[in-house]
Structure 1
Amino acid sequence: MELDIAINLIRSGVEDLGGPQVWSDLGAGRGLFTQALSTLLPVQSSIYAIDKEETALAHIHVKAGITLHKLRLNFIHDDLPDLKLDGAILANSLHYVKDKHSFLAKLGNSLKADARIILVEYDTDVPNQWVPYPLSFTSATKLFSQKGYKSIQKIGETISVYQRANIYASLVR
């Protein structure tokens, strides 16, 4: 995926809060969505790029004026830092989580009460070798509703070159 496509997918999920914000990118990989997020946040904001692969984290860069913290953690199994985040992005990462209910409870401990989650996933419930625990938009809506989130709305969609299903972005509150 190209950077401009990633930016357009998540753009409407990043709101102006009148000052710097603190976000995390869980399962950041080489940082495509970390970089996309950095272009949308105001200066003096911070992003915690979290991934288990140190070599992937080494490739991540963000725009000037954004503070980047690289944390080598397995976001699925390790405890997450208590950061009181304004937002978290899960871009092509929640499909690696088998027990999504427990994971979302853990993630909730790192979020402010009014935080946002941006979810980017394949719009399918059919697993394959690269997407072991997929989460279609319909399934995501049900999951987040069960966990007490009040709103989940689709904010973007693009064609996937690897899957028959599209990739969607959603904003969860």
Structure 2
Amino acid sequence: MIKHSASIISLIYLILFLGEVNSFQTATTSTGHLPTTTTLFLSETTNNAVEEQTDLRSATAAKFKVLTCTSTACSKRRKTFGMDDLATFGAFYSRAKKSFPETMQVEEAPCLGSCKFGPCVGVEHEDYYGTVALEGMTQDEFGASCFHNIITEEDADRVWACVENAVEVMMEAEDDDEE
């Protein structure tokens, strides 16, 4: 009985130690003949931190805009590859809505300046003028600040990985500025 009382006291201490209640999970254990139920609590602080990170990520993503070139040269190249006129736009619109619902913009744009390497995709950030070069671009793309030959889903995945990385880098920079 003394052994069992010690474990109940330990469980009560654990519950009191964990503090603030926001959400909880119940776990049941059995000691001897008497079952004991313990409730483990997640602190409100943890939930607030996760919520703040999500808000910061959404706010950072809202500063980016993905532009798909709709010039006649890029449109002709799409047709040459058997692509629909809106294939490039659709590929990025669906990715943006999945990763950053209601925050990141995807727009059709006039010539991005690299149509001979089209279909082209550019990325703008509200703090900079024009399209920006991103980590993960080829040397030619970096020089033109525009992704070239975005034809397949793999190409779109590569561009999207660069966009998501840029959001994370900017988010970390903004987070560092706040501290």
Q: TM-score, normalised by structure 2?
A: 0.26
More helix, by proportion: 2
More strand, by proportion: 1
